[in-house]
Amino acid sequence: MDKQQFSAEELARYSRQLTLPEFNIEGQRKLKQSRVLIVGAGGLGCPMLLYLTAAGVGHIGIIDFDVVDESNLHRQVLFTIDDVGKPKAEVAAKKLSKLNPHVNFTVHNEKLSSENALKTMTNYDLVADGTDNFPTRYLVNDACVLLNIPNVHGSIFRFEGQISVFNFPNDNGTFGPQYRDIFPTPPPPGLVPNCAEGGVLGVLPGIIGTLQASEIIKVLTGIGDPLAGKLFIMDALTFETRTLKITKNPNLTPPTKLLDYEDFCGLKNKNSKSIEQISVAALKELMEGAQDFQLIDVREPYEFDISNIGGTLIPLNEIEQRSHEISSSKKVIVHCKSGVRSAKAIEKLEQLGFRNCINLEGGILAWANEIDASLQKY
């Protein structure tokens, strides 16, 4: 057994992997020589980072522009209450270095974008997508296709998780199906909420992220049968699983350049009337002034009970039936947690003839960040 590339400490650390006949010293060597980029240090990214670091992947990049929030802690298991407010990528790299000092980390404390994706990702052998929004998923996919890099994809929604290995290089020089072979175009804006709006069972991203780590190790070492050309689906409520076969779409035109993915996913609403917005600072002035207005909260009752800013509670799914409770003459300010559900509520009200509704930009999250730090962010 060639031990030249490993110290005695490393050989002891990885001994349980090294004894696997299918893995052995050659598999460990391949891991040590590999460079993996994790996009998003959130619910999926945390378990991926923990297990890839423990397994001995030689170089791990972490790209995330966000900071740790208290609402992250029920699923993002790298972080603790002491990390709230700190950059996720920096905190993750610092903690992971203590888990395995033989792994090198590169921190990209920035948002992955069309401007930096190719430059950032070209230095890696594999990219793992741990994001929760469609613009970034399409961005990661297209950049991987352009760079000929495999993309280990994971996604979660409430109680369901999905995994696949996209753009897997075949022995004949071709590449397997990509994300666009399943989803050539994104869903209409707002149809599929992210975790903040739709919720997620905390253990689910741990399960899916760990399975992503398993697929990454298989791709890097060449062992087993990766989920290339397959989509694994798991329902945590029923524990039912399915594995669907994916084939390449012969009519799909491969990407030739990166796009404006916010625009591609319809989030800029170029062809529709934009919804009027108000900042939390401006709302505070209204509250302190003499102007008459109505404040509507379209979150769920449990969210309202945890924290509210005095609005009338009309959940989004009741907005049409209870529209008679909303003034059609004075200014109506609508808010939710982040501004997504309230925008949907205003669209519904406008279809009913309302022309006086204004969306609170950033919702109660912005209110807690900018006006009242003691407010619970729900």
pLDDT tier at 197, thresholds 50, 70, 90: low
Q: Which ranges in the chain belong to alpha helices (H)?
A: 8-13, 15-18, 24-32, 45-55, 88-99, 117-121, 134-147, 179-182, 195-198, 203-221, 261-264, 280-288, 301-306, 340-351, 363-370
**Domain covering 277-370 assigned CATH 1.10.10.60 in the classification:** no
Cα separation, 219 vs 35, whole angstroms: 12
Exposed/middle/buried for residue 284 (C-beta within 10 Å: 0-12, 13-18, 19+): middle
pLDDT tier at 273, thresholds 50, 70, 90: low
Mean pLDDT of 269-297: 83
Mean pLDDT of the chain: 91
**CA quadruple 125, 111, 262, 164: dihedral sign:** positive
Per residue in 318-355, pLDDT tens?
Answer: 999 999 999 999 999 999 988 888 998 999 999 999 99
Residue scoring higher pLDDT (26 or 200): 26
- pLDDT score of 195 more than 80: no
- pLDDT score of 213 more than 90: yes
How much of the chain exceeds pLDDT 70, in percent?
Answer: 94
At residue 70, the pLDDT reads 86
Cα separation, 279 vs 327, whole angstroms: 21
pLDDT tier at 194, thresholds 50, 70, 90: low
Side-chain half-sphere exposure of 289, counting CA atoms within 13 A:
9
pTM (two decimals)? 0.79
At residue 101, the pLDDT reads 96
Q: What is the CA radius of gyration of the chain?
A: 23
At the fourth CATH level, which superfamily is domain 34-264? Answer: NAD(P)-binding Rossmann-like Domain (3.40.50.720)
Question: Chain-centre distance of CA 206, in angstroms?
Answer: 13
Per residue in 7-42, pLDDT tens?
Answer: 999 999 999 999 999 999 999 999 999 999 999 999
Mean pLDDT of 138-161: 95
Active-site residue numbers?
Answer: 195, 336
Mean pLDDT of 223-235: 95
Question: Which of these ranges, 2-11, 58-67, 73-82, 112-121, has the smallest mean pLDDT?
Answer: 2-11
Mean pLDDT of 243-251: 93
At residue 82, the pLDDT reads 95
- pLDDT score of 270 more than 60: no
- pLDDT score of 191 more than 60: no
At residue 1, the pLDDT reads 41
At residue 3, the pLDDT reads 44
- pLDDT score of 50 more than 70: yes
At residue 198, the pLDDT reads 64
Residue scoring higher pLDDT (5 or 143): 143
Mean pLDDT of 281-305: 91
Question: Which of these ranges, 170-179, 183-192, 335-344, 353-362, has the smallest mean pLDDT?
Answer: 183-192
pLDDT tier at 190, thresholds 50, 70, 90: low
Q: Where in the chain is the domain with CATH 3.40.250.10?
A: 277-370
- pLDDT score of 48 more than 70: yes
- pLDDT score of 271 more than 80: no
Residue in 215, 252, 232, 207 with CA at minimum distance from that of residue 44: 207
pLDDT tier at 2, thresholds 50, 70, 90: very low
Q: Where in the chain is the domain with CATH 3.40.50.720?
A: 34-264
